[in-house]
Amino acid sequence: MSHPAPADHGHAAGVEQDTVESIVPLMPIVLPLCGGVLMLLLASIAIYLA
């Protein structure tokens, strides 16, 4: 391998933050907003096609 292994494995693992775990607290806000936008878009498409 061209890169030496880091000496402190525990510190590197403690600093990393999982992407999913950072998004999960926002789900109660993001999901209803996305649902509302999706409903608005689908309703506007239905009205346009009618």
- Tens digits of residue pLDDT in 8-41: 665 655 567 888 898 899 999 999 999 999 999 9
pLDDT at site 8? 62
Q: Could you tell me if 9 and 16 are in contact, meaning their C-beta atoms sit under 8 angstroms apart?
A: no
- 49 DSSP 8-state letter: H
pLDDT at site 10? 59
Name which of 4, 3, 6 is nearest 14 in CA terms. Answer: 6
Task: At 49, list the tokens.
Answer: 């096609």
**pTM attached to this predicted model:** 0.57
Q: Could you tell me if 6 and 12 are in contact, meaning their C-beta atoms sit under 8 angstroms apart?
A: yes
